[in-house]
Structure 1
């Protein structure tokens, strides 16, 4: 007998959950990137990140909403990108994402119900189920789309992360402040 899909929160409930978010956590491959892995003779050498996603993460940081990475793979590229964006934490090589997610939250002293997590594949289901707001890109695997509270209209690596950032900033009343900061300075940080 097939299990019934959990119901998605309505707009009001989604906005309420998004307003309580104090930390954004993202998977990398398929969320912050398009999921493509580019290999050369010396191994992995490139990943494609979206500048609009990066810009949104900088905006969030500047108005007090930090972000972090939790990924099963390890890459110097991810470390460099995370530092460039000023992320609060970069957890790489964490195949057991549920325990790693709890470790990350403990390290940053954020309750799970005040965290948003965005993933795209089966290994993201545990942290999604633990978070106060779960999200995924439009091209996530069906099981993840079914479980997510918020499914973006954009695919991974093409603005999906930005949609979650905007949802949380608008819901918490920080969007206008973020826009104002971006208008007043373009030299605080790169995106």
Structure 2
């Protein structure tokens, strides 16, 4: 049973693009279907966390809008944060899923009982993952993963 689904943001929950204007304002594109997947997981009792390597106001706002359990926004060493969140929630590594796309995510992917790389992930992340999503970051990968976690938790076979 997966009790915690944690994920990277840039390149995983988004397509990796960062839009900036000349004044330094930042915008990101989030997939509505990914948001629906996260909402479905929360409704099923799964805790959801964002662990982002760079601070971003849009990431914080998205976390608030989705009412996720925890948002760690702007941390370079992600694994200690993932372990801390799991420990605070009383969740083991085997009860944790983590999705990422790049080298800073590899340790988290390896630590989690269900390590996931999105389709556009780098080779190192894909190699570390037990599951590689068919869809890319910011393009429905998190929805795909959410649906898989719900199937796992409901006792159905995963794809």
**TM-score category of the 2 structures, normalised to the smaller one:** over 0.9
Residue aligning to 1:27: 8
Q: Determine whether 1:121 maps to 2:102.
A: yes
- How far apart are 1:141 and its partner, in Å? 0.2
Unpaired runs of 5+ in structure 2? none
Separation (CA, whole Å) in 2 of partners of 1:43 and 1:174: 47
How do residues 30-45 of structure 1 correspond to structure 2 at under 5 angstroms? 30-45=11-26
TM-score using structure 1 length: 0.78
Correspondences of 1:46-65 after superposition (within 5 Å) = 46-65=27-46
Q: Within 2, Cα distance between the matches of 1:62 and 1:110?
A: 18
Structure with larger Rg = 1
Aligned residues: 156
Deviations 1:133-164, CA, capped at 9 Å, x for gaps: 00011110011111111101111100001111
Residue 44 of structure 1: how far off its partner (Å): 4.3
What do you get for the CA RMSD once the two structures are aligned?
A: 1.4
CA distance in 2, matches of 1:59, 1:167: 12
The answer on whether the counterparts of 1:57 and 1:165 sit within 8 Å (CA) in structure 2 is yes
1:167 aligned onto 2:133:
no
Describe how 1:1-191 pairs up with structure 2 within 5 A. 20-173=1-154
